[in-house]
């Protein structure tokens, strides 16, 4: 248990539909990260929050993607007009440890776009 939950764990949707994922850290963390992992690849950075502020965004985060962290606690990631290429595991990560460099992943949300 890394202290973060994600919901839903699995999502199957049809192409063109919108989906929203949620990440809930169990305790307060000023930073929160989103990554995407496609089959057979390493995780790819999407975006990062410092409290409510979205400070870094990857070029992977097209205009169909939006992320929020309204109260500096939980975060949501929305994908509009899903495409088959969006099928992946979406991972949320939080910092833990002494130096705060470490990133610990949640269980992820597996998205399948049919």
Burial (CB count <10 Å: 0-12, 13-18, 19+), residue 93: buried
By CB under 8 A, is residue 40 in contact with another protein? Answer: yes
Least CB distance from residue 81 to another protein, whole Å? 26
Query: Considering only residues 2, 66, 80, 87, which one is a binding residue for another protein as defined by CB under 8 A?
Result: 2
Which among 87, 108, 93, 100 is positioned nearest to 39, based on CA atoms? Answer: 87
Give residues in contact with another protein (CB under 8 A): 2, 31, 33, 35, 37, 40-45, 48, 55-56, 58, 91, 99, 101-108
């Amino acid at each position: 248990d890394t202290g973060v939950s994600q919901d839903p764990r699995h999502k199957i949707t049809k192409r063109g539909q919108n989906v929203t994922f949620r990440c809930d850290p169990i305790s307060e963390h000023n930073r929160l990260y989103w990554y995407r992992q496609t089959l057979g690849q390493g995780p790819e950075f999407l975006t990062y929050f410092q409290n409510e502020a979205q400070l870094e965004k990857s070029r992977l985060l097209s205009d169909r993607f939006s992320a929020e962290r309204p109260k500096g606690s939980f975060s949501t990631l929305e994908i509009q007009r899903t495409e088959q290429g969006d099928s992946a595991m979406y991972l949320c990560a939080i910092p833990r440890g002494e130096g705060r460099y470490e990133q610990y992943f949640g269980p992820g949300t597996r998205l399948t776009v049919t």
